[in-house]
Amino acid sequence: MNTATALMFADRAAGGADVESLWRRDQGGRGEAKSCQTGEISTVEAAVQSHSSRDAGIQTDQSQEAVQDLNLCHRAPVDYAGLLSFLQRVEEDVIKELNKNWRSHAFDGFEVNWTDQNETVSCLFSLSYPEAQDQKLQVTSISWNATGSVVACSYGRLDDGDWSTEKSYVCTWNLDRRGLNLQHPDLVVDVPSSVMCLSFHPSEPSLIAGGLFSGEVMVWDTSRIEDPLIWRTGMTDDTHTDPVYQVEWMQDLKHSYHFQVLSISTDGKVLVWQTERDGRLTLAEGFALVAQQVPRSAKLKKPTRGEMAVGVTSLSFSHFDPTVFVIGVEGGYSLKCSTTVETAALPRMGNSVPLKAPAQFAFSPHGGPVYCVSCSPFHRNLFLSSGTDGHVHLHSMLQAQPLVSLQLSKEYLFSVSWSPVRPLVFAAASGEGEVQLFDFGKSSQKPAVSIKQTSDQSPVYCIEFNIKQTQLLAAGDATGTVKIWQLSSEFTEQGPREMNQLEQLANEVTD
C-alpha cells in the first residue's frame, strides 16, 4: 500500500461542530453536536423556517408598540347624547311593532326542523309464504309482537271464494334477522280452518290469539316450534256460530296482571275468554247485540242473519277508559258500548254465561257495513270508522254526526288505523290496492301519500303500525303478500301544536 492510500484510510479524530438549535435556545438550553463527520454548517429550525417566532394562540405582540402598529389604540368617538336622543325618538314606534308581531298568527303551526327529513316512503321487505300463495290464499290479518321485531300474518279468504278452506296458515317473520333470507317464514302453523284475524299479546312476545272461520278461538305460543297450540275454545255451545272477525287481548280489571281474550263475530256476540290449565278457553263473560237493545236512534235495517242478532264486524277499545269500546256492525253503524252494563240481552242466547247488551249510543251510518273502527290514542272522544262505501268517518263520541267524512276510495275500505305517534295521522287500506296515509295537519280532504301495495289493484285487507319501531307499517293483501313500509320522518315526528289541532277537531260541532 502506498503512502497516499495509507493516509486516506488512517484513523484520525475530526473536530466537533456546533449546530445552533432555535428550539433548544427557546427552552433556555444549548445543544452541541458530538463527533460530527462534517465541517461547520449553518442551520435553521425546519418547523418554523425562521429565526424568530411568536405565540400562535395570540398572534399579536402585547407591547404598546405593536398595538399602535395595528391602529387598535385609536377609537372613533361616540356621540352618547345623540344615541340617547335617537332611541327616545324611535322607542314608541318600535314597541308598537313588537306588540303587533307578538299578537300575529302568521307563523302559527310553523316549526323549525334542524335535521334533514326523509321525504320518501320505501318498502323494506316483501314477505310471503309460497305454499299459501299456491293455494290462492289471502292475507286476512297482521299483527306486531310486543317487542316490535316480529310480524305475523294469517292466511285465509275474504273474497267470494271458499271461506271454509280446509287448511290455512299462521306465519311469523323476525325482522331482526337483517341480511338473512326473509322470503320464508320463521314459523308456519297449519290451521284446519281459514284464519280470519290475529292479535299478539301486549306484553308476552310469543303469544298470539287467532279467530277462525269455524267460530273457534285459538292461542299459539310461537316459541314452541313443534306444538305451538296451547289454548282453544273447541266447538261448544259457547263457541261463535259465525266466523270470528277480530280478537283482542283484554286486561282483566279484577286482576291487572292477567289478560283475557275477546272475540267478535257476525253472530252478534262479543265474548270474553279465560285460559284454563287443561288447554281450554272458557267463557268468562259476554255481550250480544240484538235489535231490541240497539238505541232507537239507529234505525237498523232488518238483520240478514236472523231476526234478532246484529252482526258485529269490528271493535276498538278506548285508550283512556278500559270499560268503553266502539263496535262496527253490518248495518253500517258504529256503536259506543260499555263493559259495565247490567242489562241482559234478550232473548237468552243459550250460552253458559248470561250475555249483556252493551250498546249505549249509535252514530250516523256508512252506506254499507263497517269493516273497521279505531279509537284515537291521543284523544278520549275521537275514533275513526271505515266501510264498504269507501269513506272514513272521524267521529266524536259526544255527537251522532261525523266531524269529517272522507271518500278515500271508490272501492271498499277494509282497514283504518290511527298512528301511535302522530295525533293527526292515520292509515287506510283500500280495495284498489293502495295504502293511504292521511295527515289532518296538511289537509282535511286528501291523503298526504298514496302507496301502491299491489300492481294489479288487488285489495289491501289489513294494516298495522309498529308501536315500538314507529317508522314501520305492515300491510297485507289479497295476493298473499305482507309488505313492510318504512315511513318518512314527517309521519313519525309530532309537531309542537299538533295536540292543539286535534283538540280543535274534537270540538267541532255538527248540525
- Which of 141-150, 295-304, 310-319 is the least confident region? 295-304
Is the pLDDT reported for residue 21 higher than 80? no
CB of 245 closer than 8 Å to CB of 238: no
Q: Average the pLDDT over 187-215 and give the result.
A: 94
Helix, strand, coil tally for the chain in percent (to 5): 10, 35, 55
Q: What is the pLDDT of residues 439-465, one digit of tens each?
A: 998 888 889 999 999 999 999 999 999
Q: Specify the higher pLDDT residue, 453 or 508.
A: 453
Tell me phi and psi for residue 308, to 5 degrees.
Answer: -105, -45
pLDDT band at 31 (very low <50, low <70, confident <90, very high): very low
pLDDT at residue 179 in the model = 52
Torsion of CA 384, 392, 293, 396, to 10 degrees: 50
Neighbour-count burial of 477, counting CB atoms closer than 10 A to its CB (0-12 exposed, 13-18 middle, 19+ buried): buried
Closest CA to 264 of 247, 252, 281: 247
- Residue 269 identity (one-letter amino acid): K
* Grid cell digits, residue 270: 262479543
Q: Average the pLDDT over 214-226 and give the result.
A: 93
Give the Cα-Cα-Cα angle 165, 143, 411 (nearest 5 degrees): 65
Q: Average the pLDDT over 155-173 and give the result.
A: 78
- Determine the distance from the C-alpha atom of residue 319 to the mean position of all C-alpha atoms in its chain, rounded to a whole number: 16
Q: Average the pLDDT over 404-432 and give the result.
A: 95
CB of 48 closer than 8 Å to CB of 77: no
pLDDT at residue 256 in the model = 63
**What residues contact 469, with CB distance under 8 A and at least 6 apart?**
148, 149
Is the pLDDT reported for residue 189 higher than 60? yes
Is the pLDDT reported for residue 8 higher than 60? no
pLDDT band at 290 (very low <50, low <70, confident <90, very high): confident
**Alpha carbons 328 and 316: distance in angstroms, whole number:** 9
Cis peptide before 347 (omega within 30 of 0): yes
Q: Average the pLDDT over 205-220 and give the result.
A: 96
Structure letter (DSSP) for residue 291: G
Give the Cα-Cα-Cα angle 297, 314, 450 (nearest 5 degrees): 110
Q: Specify the higher pLDDT residue, 406 or 305.
A: 406
pLDDT band at 118 (very low <50, low <70, confident <90, very high): very low
Q: Average the pLDDT over 377-385 and give the result.
A: 97
Q: What is the mean pLDDT of the chain?
A: 82
Q: Specify the higher pLDDT residue, 94 or 292.
A: 94
pLDDT at residue 296 in the model = 56
Closest CA to 250 of 341, 318, 345: 318
Greatest mean pLDDT among 55-64, 108-117, 198-207, 304-313 = 198-207
pLDDT at residue 9 in the model = 53
Q: Average the pLDDT over 215-230 and give the result.
A: 94
pLDDT at residue 284 in the model = 93
pLDDT at residue 46 in the model = 47
pLDDT at residue 117 in the model = 45
pLDDT band at 26 (very low <50, low <70, confident <90, very high): very low
Percentage above 70 pLDDT, the chain? 75
pTM: 0.74
